[in-house]
Structures are given as structure tokens and as C-alpha cells.
């Protein structure tokens, strides 16, 4: 992998990780466009550079993270409740990921059997879901919904079950957790913040798992320098993307992301149908 390829992948990861557009789907598409063959090492690289985006959120939400730490130490009730809710939301994906993770990687991650079609289908379905939720929110009173301090373990479990759907590449973990939070009763800003915080736990676990399972293979094929470039690029672009997204969603809602996903799905489907985006064979 060339340094500029890892830079592009890092930028794509950081920009898309917390937007409801699917970072995995964009990374798979970018890898195919850059001519990077599909392999366990390539998939591991795409997942491991998520660490940069995780560090970005830890920095931006360090006050909330510190609150949860104080809560676990017995010094902040709200922080303790939020920490318990985080664990409750994480558990469904941890269990299902352990049971079905290998099947998902083998069948849905841009391999030769289905190519990018599962991602295209998820982009389109997610776009329709965003537009439906946006219409639902317009019927609610402005500013309605609960704050993050009112999040219960039951509500967190609902969000966690929604997060399991994001194992299908192209769905977007941010999308389903934000939508799940809104449907569970949270205000949009609270749902967005919880989605970001939950991502630290979920993405951190996925990154550690793939690093342990395919890290040696990834380093042997690509080396450490491209991984470092991807990490730094993901961190810097995630900081900018998260700051922009929070402000944008508070003012305009999620509708534009729904139209973007539908347009992207149609464009990539056309390229696949014409034969311009085929799986790159492993040399």
C-alpha cells in the first residue's frame, strides 16, 4: 500500500465514521477504486484505522467520559447511570458479533461472491429509513425528546439491538444508533452524543479484535507506516467531521444524509452494472 492510499483511506474513515453514511461501505468502495485487493489484511486495515476516529471522540467528549469514570468510582450518579447504559447498549452487538462476525466478513465484505451489492442495498435502505425518521420527527413538537441524563437501561438496550443491524456493511452504525435513540425517546442531540460515545466502546472492541486476529498479516503486507498515516488522517478528519455534524444536525436534521445515501447507492449500482467496479482479485 502506498502512503497516499493510506492517507485517502484515513480521511475517508475519519469523515464518514460518525456520519450516518457508513464508513465501512465508503472504505470498501475506496479500496476497490484504489485497486487494493479484497483480503483479511485489507479489511483489518480499514477497521484498525478506526482507532484514530475513536481518539478524536475521546478528546471531544472528554468531559462526558470523565463523568462516567467518576460515576464508576462512586462519585457521580448520572455518570454511573450513563456508564451502565453504555454497557447495556454494547452487549447485544458483542454477543451477535461473536456468533456471526466471521460469517459477515466472509459473505458481505466486498468479496468475489457478492461484490459491493450488499453495501449498495444497505445504502439505499438506510437512506429510505433516514427520510422516514425525518418525517416522523417533523410531526413531533420542536425540541421534544429526553436528555442523555434521562436515558434508561431499557432504552439503551433498544439502541444496542439497533446497533446489531450495522454489522451489515453499508448500514452505518451511527445511523442505526441515532435512529434507535430517537425512536427510544431521546432528543436528536442526545441521540447523536450517545451514538458517538457508544462508538468508542463498540469500535474499540472491533479494532482490538481485528488487530489481534489479523494484525500480523496486515503489518506483514502493508507495514506500520501506512497504518500510522491512516490513524493520524482518521483522527484529524474525524475531529472536523464530528464538530460539523453536531452543528448541522441541530439546525437541519438528517434528511440530507438520506438523499445522499440513495444517490450514492444508485450511482454505485450503475457502475457495478456497467462493470466498472468489480472485485479486485487477490494476487
Whether 234 shows a pLDDT value over 90: the answer reads yes
Instruction: Give the domain extent around 74.
Output: 3-274
**What is the per-residue pLDDT across 37-59, written as a single tens digit (0 to 9) for each?**
878 888 889 889 999 999 999 99
Indicate whether 283 belongs to any domain.
no
Indicate whether 279 belongs to any domain.
no
Whether 282 shows a pLDDT value over 60: the answer reads no
DSSP-assigned beta bridge partners for residue 146:
186
Indicate whether 37 belongs to any domain.
yes
Sequence-ordered list of residues with C-beta below 8 angstroms from that of 239, at least 6 positions apart, any chain = 14, 56, 59, 60
Indicate whether 134 belongs to any domain.
yes
The H-assigned helical ranges of 17-116 are: 23-33, 40-48, 50-60, 62-72, 77-108
Residue 283 confidence (pLDDT): 37
**Packing angle of the helix pair 188-222, 153-164 (nearest 10 deg):** 40
Mean pLDDT (whole number) for 200-219:
88
Residue 24 confidence (pLDDT): 82
Of 136-145, 209-218, 271-280, the range with the highest mean pLDDT is: 209-218
Cell readout for 46 is: 480499514
Q: How many CA atoms are closer than 13 Å to the CA of 113, on its beta-carbon side?
A: 8
198/173 Cα distance (integer angstroms): 10
Residue 177 confidence (pLDDT): 92
Residue 90 confidence (pLDDT): 94
Indicate whether 280 belongs to any domain.
no
Residue 83: pLDDT band with limits 50, 70, 90: very high
Indicate whether 18 belongs to any domain.
yes
Residue 142 confidence (pLDDT): 57
Residue 85: pLDDT band with limits 50, 70, 90: very high
Whether 217 shows a pLDDT value over 50: the answer reads yes
**Mean confidence (pLDDT) of the chain:** 86
Indicate whether 153 belongs to any domain.
yes
More reliable by pLDDT, 216 or 249: 216
Residue 15: pLDDT band with limits 50, 70, 90: very high
- State in Å, rounded, how far the first CA of the chain is from the last one: 14
Whether 155 shows a pLDDT value over 60: the answer reads yes
Q: Are 194 and 53 in contact (CB under 8 A)?
A: no
Residue 106: pLDDT band with limits 50, 70, 90: low
Indicate whether 34 belongs to any domain.
yes
Residue 94: pLDDT band with limits 50, 70, 90: confident
Number of domains in the chain: 1
Amino acid at each position: 500500500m502506498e502512503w497516499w492510499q493510506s492517507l485517502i483511506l484515513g480521511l475517508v474513515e475519519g469523515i464518514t465514521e460518525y456520519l450516518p453514511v457508513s464508513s465501512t461501505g465508503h472504505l470498501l468502495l475506496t479500496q476497490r477504486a484504489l485497486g487494493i485487493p479484497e483480503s483479511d489484511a485489507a479489511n483489518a486495515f480499514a477497521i484498525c484505522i478506526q482507532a484514530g476516529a475513536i481518539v478524536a471522540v475521546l478528546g471531544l467528549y472528554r468531559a462526558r467520559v470523565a463523568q462516567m469514570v467518576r460515576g464508576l468510582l462512586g462519585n457521580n450518579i448520572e455518570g454511573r447511570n450513563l456508564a451502565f447504559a453504555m454497557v447495556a447498549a454494547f452487549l447485544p452487538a458483542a454477543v451477535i458479533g461473536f456468533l456471526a462476525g466471521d460469517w459477515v466478513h466472509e459473505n458481505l465484505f466486498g468479496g468475489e461472491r457478492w461484490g459491493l451489492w450488499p453495501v449498495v442495498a444497505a445504502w439505499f435502505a438506510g437512506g429510505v429509513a433516514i427520510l422516514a425518521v425525518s418525517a416522523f420527527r417533523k410531526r413531533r413538537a420542536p425540541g421534544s425528546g429526553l436528555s442523555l441524563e434521562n436515558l434508561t437501561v431499557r432504552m439503551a438496550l433498544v439502541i444496542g439491538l439497533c446497533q446489531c443491524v450495522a454489522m451489515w456493511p453499508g448500514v452505518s452504525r451511527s445511523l442505526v444508533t441515532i435512529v434507535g435513540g430517537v425512536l427510544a425517546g431521546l432528543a436528536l442531540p442526545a441521540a447523536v452524543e450517545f451514538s458517538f460515545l457508544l462508538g468508542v466502546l463498540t469500535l474499540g472492541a472491533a479494532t482490538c479484535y481485528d488487530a489481534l486476529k489479523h494484525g500480523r498479516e496486515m503489518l506483514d503486507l502493508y507495514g506500520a507506516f501506512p497504518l500510522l498515516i491512516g490513524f493520524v488522517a482518521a483522527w484529524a478528519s474525524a475531529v472536523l467531521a464530528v464538530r460539523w455534524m453536531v452543528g448541522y444536525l441541530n439546525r437541519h436534521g438528517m434528511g440530507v444524509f438520506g438523499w445522499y445515501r440513495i444517490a450514492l447507492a444508485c450511482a454505485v449500482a450503475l457502475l457495478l452494472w456497467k462493470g466498472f467496479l468489480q472485485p479486485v482479485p487477490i494476487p
